[in-house]
Amino acid sequence: MSRTFRYLETAQGSKVTIEGREVILLGSNDYLGLCNDQRLKEASYNAIDQFGCGAGGSRLTTGSYVLHKALEEALADFKGAEGSILFNSGYAANVGAISAITDSKWVVFSDKLNHASIVDGCVLSGAKMVRYKHGDMADLERKIVKFKSNHNLIITDGIFSMDGNAASLPEIVALAKAYDCMTMVDDAHGFGVLGKSGKGTVAYFAEKGEISETDIDIQMGTLSKAAGSVGGYVAGNRVLIEYLRNTARSFIFSTALPPGTLAASIKALEIIKEDEEKRKALFNKIEWFKNRLIEAGFKLTETVTPIIPILVGDPVKTMEMSNRLLEDGIYAPGIRPPTVPKGTSRLRMSVTASHSVEELEYALERIIHHGRVMNLIG
Element of type H or E holding 276: helix 276-296
CATH of domain 15-32+275-373: 3.90.1150.10
pLDDT band, residue 4 (cuts 50/70/90): confident
Asked whether residue 222 carries a pLDDT value surpassing 80, the answer given is yes
Number of H helices, E strands in the chain: 13, 13
Which regions of the chain carry the CATH code 3.40.640.10?
38-274
Catalytic residue among 225, 267, 355, 370: 225
Question: In the annotation, is 299 catalytic?
Answer: no
- Residue 78 three-state SS: helix
Residue 1 in this model has a pLDDT that exceeds 80: no
* Per-residue pLDDT at 115 exceeds 90: yes
pLDDT mean over 94-105: 98
Tell me if the pTM is above 0.85: yes
**189 classed as catalytic:** yes
Q: Which class is 38-274 in CATH? A: alpha beta
**pLDDT value of residue 322:** 97
* Rounded Cα–Cα distance for residues 216 and 1 (Å): 41
Q: Reply yes or no on whether 225 is catalytic.
A: yes
Catalytic residue among 125, 161, 168, 322: 161
* Given the residues 115, 189, 199, 267, the one annotated as active site: 189
% residues pLDDT > 70 (the chain): 99
pLDDT classification of 3: cutoffs 50, 70, 90? confident
CB atoms under 10 Å from CB of 373, counted, come to: 11
- Answer whether residue 265 shows pLDDT above 90: yes
Confidence band for 281, pLDDT divided at 50, 70 and 90: very high
pLDDT for res 64:
98
Beta-strand runs (E) in 21-105: 21-25, 83-87
**Is pLDDT of 108 > 90?**
yes
Cα dist. 54→36, 58, 251 in Å? 21, 11, 16
Please check whether residue 158 is in contact with residue 166, taking contact to mean a CB–CB distance below 8 angstroms: yes
pLDDT of 378: 86
What's residue 63's pLDDT? 98
- How does pLDDT run across 64-93, given as a tens digit for each residue? 999 999 999 999 999 999 999 999 999 999
Amino acid identity, position 213: E
E strands present in 199-246: 218-222, 232-236
Q: What is the mean pLDDT of residues 45-57?
A: 98
Mean pLDDT of 7-36: 97
List, for residues 200-218, the tens digit of each pLDDT value: 999 999 999 999 999 999 9
User: Angle at the Cα of 62 (from 57 to 66), degrees rounded to 5?
Assistant: 105
Q: Residue 194: what residue type? A: L
Read off the pLDDT of each residue in 10-25 and give the average, rounded to a whole number: 97
The phi and psi torsions of 252 (rounded to 5 degrees) equal -65, -40
Average pLDDT (121-125) is 97
- Listed in order, the ranges of the chain carrying CATH 3.90.1150.10 are 15-32+275-373
Q: How would residue 185 be classed by pLDDT, with cut points 50, 70 and 90?
A: very high
